[in-house]
Amino acid sequence: MDVLRVDDQLTDEERMIRDTVRTVVAEKVLPNVGEWFERGVFPARELGPELGKLGLLGMHLQGYGCAGMSAVAYGVACRELEAGDSGLRSFVSVQGSLAMAAIHKFGSEEQKQEWLPRMAAGEALGCFGLTEPDRGSDPGDMRTHARRDGSDWVLNGAKMWITNGSVADVAVVWARTDEGIRGFLVPAGTPGFSASDIHRKLSLRASVTSELVLDDVRLPADAVLPGVTGLKGPLSCLSEARYGILWGTVGAGRACYEAAVEYAKTREQFGRPIGAFQLTQEKLAWMEVALGQAGLTALHIGRLKDAGKVTPQQVSFGKLANVRAALDVARQARTVLGANGITLEYPVIRHMNNLESVLTYEGTQEIHTLVLGQAITGIPAYRG
Ligand SMILES: Cc1cc2nc3c(=O)[nH]c(=O)nc-3n(C[C@H](O)[C@H](O)[C@H](O)COP(=O)(O)OP(=O)(O)OC[C@H]3O[C@@H](n4cnc5c(N)ncnc54)[C@H](O)[C@@H]3O)c2cc1C
């Protein structure tokens, strides 16, 4: 069901992108994603070129082999990808909105030429290293540092929870320097640079998450991103990725809702489909309302972004509201499926567990709450 018919507001091109991505997810992802999740793997090398061929990597960026699509088109693609799995959307977000966007916004012409066309094609993969073992919500206090040595840079430190870390050909690493925070392009295989995967995750299992270690990593002068100094560099990239999340989570929630509706109509107890009970209908109606509101929020923010008018506070609003809505929908859907709701035979518990990560990464729900709190009161409450 889609009572509000939000997609009627999309253009023909946006609907075409929706249908294309939905088909690819149905054919290539849904038959396998339960197994990837169970085994804790993500086939980045195989899916990268396929997603590249579809123009989904850096699809909202202009030039350098990128598709140059609208923000809404990109959002719709994120929604359909995350209806498959949040790990899939994370892969695309990190590649396009974090790693490629950093190079596109702040890189030199040579850096753009070297990396962006191959990254858009999915032949080269990127990751984005901001978070550290001891610095998450407060990245401005990062410990990783870079010092000049002649014309070279020497980097030391560690980055934690880095999506695509061990499969990336290039890591965008943010480090403190005497001039402020700078971004560096660290190619895989650079001496002193290593990436090892984080195991035993119970969320986003179909996604590579790594720790990066930088031990006297020597880089040439032209490894630095010349276009930005300061925390605004990584934060502006995060705003791009959060935008993808506020769409993507609508897809994850929708997948759970659809599973719940189907189950409610076919599962019988007390001689009737469980969907005939008022309590079940109340849950389904509430999910419909939550997803309709989330879908409208995403579309509104997308249109603002395409008009060049979106603010970081609006993106925080969308990330906060839509992740929460999707997680609530997933939890409600889980109850509708009863015991079956806890198995990988259905998508619900996988999405539900994934959304716990989505609630935390790209700014936790608490941090986005405080962003809104500051917008409302004018008083920043991040620090004591
Ligand atoms: C699966 C996964 C993938 C990720 N991928 C990436 C990636 O590709 N690149 C990257 O750089 N990072 C990545 N992250 C890291 C993510 O961005 C951080 O986990 C997030 O920013 C929170 O940091 P933290 O986990 O250190 O929590 P902390 O910052 O230690 O926070 C712990 C708790 O304290 C709360 N808190 C902190 N400060 C305040 C405050 N001022 N007021 C109120 N509450 C506060 C938080 O909201 C949270 O509830 C990923 C994380 C996960 C789980």
Residues 344 and 245 placed together within one structural domain of the fold: yes
For ligand 1, which residues put their CB under 6 angstroms from it? 94, 128-131, 136-137, 161-163, 204, 209, 357, 360-362, 364, 366-367, 370, 382
Domain range holding 162? 126-229
The answer on 86 and 143 residing in a single domain is no
- Tokens representing 384 are 């004591």
In this structure, the answer to whether residues 219 and 236 fall within a common structural domain is: no
Position 99 scores a pLDDT of 98
153, β-bridge pairs: 148, 219
For the chain, how many structural domains are there in total? 3
Examine the domain organization and report whether 221 and 244 are in the same domain: no
Q: Which amino acid is at 64?
A: Y
Residue 227 backbone dihedrals phi, psi, to 5 degrees = -85, 0
Cα–Cα distance, 188 to 165 (Å, whole number): 9
Q: How many residues does the chain have?
A: 384
362 in catalytic set: yes
Answer yes or no: are the C-beta atoms of 107 and 52 closer than 8 Å: no
**pLDDT tens-digit series, residues 24-35:** 999 999 999 999
Which pTM was predicted?
0.97
CA dist., res. 352 & res. 102, Å (int): 30
* Boundary (domain end) residue, out of 87, 121, 155: 121
Is residue 154 domain-resident?
Answer: yes
- Neighbour count for residue 155 (Cβ, 10 Å): 23
DSSP strand E in the chain: where?
126-129, 145-149, 152-163, 170-177, 180-187, 193-197, 209-219, 268-269, 272-273
Query: Confidence band (pLDDT; 50, 70, 90) for 317?
Result: very high
Tell me: do 12 and 92 sit in the same domain.
Answer: yes
CATH number at residue 282: 1.20.140.10
pLDDT of amino acid 382: 84
Statement to judge: residues 279 and 250 lie in one domain: yes
Residue type present at position 80 = E
Residue 383 forms part of a structural domain: no
Which residue puts its alpha carbon closest to atom 6 of ligand 1?
Answer: 162
Among the candidates 56, 90, 121, a domain finishes at 121
Please, are residues 203 and 210 in contact by the beta-carbon 8 Å criterion?
no
pLDDT in tens, 343-372: 999 999 999 999 999 999 999 999 999 999
Question: Looking at the structure, do residues 373 and 236 belong to the same domain, yes or no?
Answer: yes
pLDDT tens digit string along 210-263? Answer: 999 999 999 999 999 999 999 999 999 999 999 999 999 999 999 999 999 999
97-119 average pLDDT score: 98
pLDDT digits (tens, 9 = 90+) for 297-314: 999 999 999 999 999 999
Shared domain check, 345 and 244: yes
- What tokens were used for 242? 């959060």
**Are residues 139 and 109 part of one domain?**
no
Task: Select which of 13, 123, 362, 366 is catalytic.
Answer: 362
